[in-house]
Amino acid sequence: MTNPLLADFATPFDTAPFQLIQPEHYLPAVTEAIQLAKADIEKIKAEPLPTFENTIEALDRSGKKLGVISAIFFNLNSAETNDEIQKLAREISPLLTAHSNDILLDQELFQRVAHVFEEKDSLSISAEQTTLLEKTYKSFVRNGAKLSTEDAAKLREIDRRLGQSSLKFGENVLAETNKYVHFVDNEQELDGLPDGIKEAAAQIAEEKGQSGKWAFTLDYPSYVPAMTYAKNRELREKLYLAYNTKSAKGDELDNQGTIKELLRLRHERANLLGYASHADFVLEERMAKSPKAVMDFLESFLQKAKPKAEVDVQEVADYAKKTDGLENLERWDFGYYSELLKKEKYALDDELLRPYFQLEKVIDGVFQTAEKLFGITFVPNSDIPVYHPEVSAYEVKDRDGDHLAVFYADFFPRTGKRNGAWMTSYRGQNVQNGEDHRPHVSIVCNFTKPTKSKPSLLTFNEVTTLFHEFGHALHGMLAKGTYESLSGTSVFWDFVELPSQIFENWCYEKECLDLFAKHYQTGETIPADLIEKIKNAANFQQGYMTLRQISFGLLDMAYHSSNPESISDIAEFEEAVMKKTDLLPKVPRTLMSTSFSHIFQGGYSSGYYSYKWAEVLDADAFELFQEKGIFDQETARSFEKNVLSAGGSEHPSVLYRRFKGRDPKPDALLKRSGLVGT
């Protein structure tokens, strides 16, 4: 029987044939696709004289089948995994690492690339082709092409172990999340929780065979509402401790040793390649360029945010004392009293807003916003295979009604899915032989599920999360590059969050909210006074939230900008780093690092600062939409052309200047965040 991963996909738009793929297909498919990719490389090396076309372009287009198979496998390992898939990941990951090293450490191939690179000034190539040439040459050099045979062998072993350790980290966090459940027998213990949250908790308990009880897990839609609304302080403490001791209990799922291993290997790899630290290695290919630039950036925001954060925390502590006589505000108290205070100050809370944010209507609102800005439309297509019944598939069409992309949406938590929200791609956009191969893009979230009596009603934070991930998706779907490695979201890491974060801004605009924010029972459009309250409350606790975000960036940089051999105890190291940003008492046995998947599994190592970096860009860029109108066509087309469609075809600074007419300034963000006077 033919392996469906190796056959031509007989599906709409050559989408992944999820309905045919079984776990046993992956390993043979990867193994054969590696051989096909090796044949592509040999063909390149057999060409007599290296040219841009037969070497640089050919390299970018090599191994396409392997890329598609790998994308399917690793995307499902995040969104729909199980023990068998995780076991396969431990086998497949080293094969792919070895194959990548085989290419990047191939001296004959590197000499061809170097020859073209040395001739670049005499070549008649476009800006995009110049970027591809420079990126290709750097990728070889930055991955060991100039190393001795002995050091190249060391690099191979380091990369193999890095891949395994990163997988192990993620598996441990997922296992810890999945195994925890807290049952409540007495409804009185749920005082303060909205009816919808209680109903969802009862549904979880029923699904786990405990009818008549209420269950709480560490999935966001279960954990966050409990921490926000549960009057029962003991319940909040119990859940807080469970959430913040994930993979930090000294058992088989503990990640402290894995972190040390990852840090040591990353540092060793950077040193081997001639860099002082992993951060120096990473940041060479970022807008920020150096650890010093990142630290200066974070410190500048720290100085502005900390005084305001201290006021924010004291305000909550005073409120808790006044309201309930609470003498010592603990970490599991902060969210609860902060929400009560917000409700008192702004007459606003999530439960007041939820009825206006039915998931299906928010999705429609996101689609309408994209249509008004960029002229694209989304057509549900049930013929496109999906990997889970909860996943929806759409054909995306451009202004002229032509095919633009395939879009998948996956919204609810389940056992085989990691926490959080992300955008990913099953196929990148590229042009080959005059044919534009359009992208297949997906967003994966963990939103509040529907219950027996209510549809999925989102919090405002979930609404902004959906817009955020959809911004990433637009970056992928609107891609108009020639080369897949420069297309869509293949940009500098501290630029990639601009399209996602700028799209969140529309959630605060009446003109946009009026498109979709309608009461799920009455159909009433969200009242203007509620929108005003959302805007007024936008800066609530902004000092504290900024400080928290800065603390994660500082921890990331502390781990990766110096020799990790000095780190003997992860808990002590984390506490020492976080000391200058911690405004609440440290809770014994809790650790953030052991479930900090962004930097130890998700590719954000030495890059967590990029969220705040991109906020500077997004606030500065959105000013233009505010000046011209949030649906102004000229501004939207400029953003599409110079940012969304351009991908990584040129340096992001060049692309940004084309859109805004100048370099970004932090003023708009500082003003928006209330960190400076208006």
Between vectors from CA 594 to CA 590 and to CA 597, what angle results, nearest 5°?
130
Distance CA 366, CA 673 (A): 24
Q: C-alpha 278: how far from its chain's center? A: 21
pLDDT recorded at residue 678 = 45
Encode burial over 14-32: b for 16+ CB neighbours within 10 A, e otherwise: ebbbbebbeeebbeebbeb
Asked if 241 and 591 touch (Cβ cutoff 8 Å), the reply is: no
Residue 70 — φ and ψ, nearest 5°? -65, -40
- Three-point CA angle 5, 469, 430, nearest 5°: 45
- Amino acid present at 224: V
Instruction: Give the predicted TM-score (pTM) of the model.
Output: 0.93
pLDDT at 453: 93
Residue 69 pLDDT: 98
Say how far apart CA 635 and CA 47 lie, in whole Å.
Answer: 46
Distance, in Å, from the CA atom of 610 to the CA atom of 618, rounded to the nearest integer, reads: 12
For the chain, the domains span 12-146, 180-243
CA 625: distance to chain centroid?
25
Task: State which residues of the chain have pLDDT below 50.
Answer: 678
**Which runs of consecutive H residues, i.e. helices, occur in 273-358?**
278-283, 291-324, 331-346, 350-353
Out of 395, 462, 469, 615, which one is annotated catalytic? 469
Task: Quote the pLDDT of residue 633.
Answer: 98
User: Across the beta sheet with 392-397, what order do the strands follow?
Assistant: 377-380, 392-397, 403-410, 440-444, 422-427
Taking CA atoms, 668 is separated from 283, 609, 616, in Å, by: 25, 18, 7
CB 63 within 8 Å of CB 484: no
pLDDT digit string, tens, across residues 261-307? 999 999 999 999 999 999 999 999 999 999 999 999 999 999 999 99
Tokens 């150096």, residue located: 290
* CATH T-level assignment (fold) for domain 12-146: Glutathione S-transferase Yfyf (Class Pi); Chain A, domain 2 (1.20.1050)
> Which residue shows structure tokens 């690099």?
155
Quick one: tokens of 441?
Answer: 């893009």
User: What percent of the chain is helix, strand and coil (3-state, nearest 5)?
Assistant: 60, 5, 35
- What is the pairing mode between strands 422-427 and 440-444? antiparallel
Residue 378 DSSP symbol: E
Say whether 128 is catalytic.
Answer: no
- 64 Cβ contact partners less than 8 Å away, ≥ 6 residues apart: none
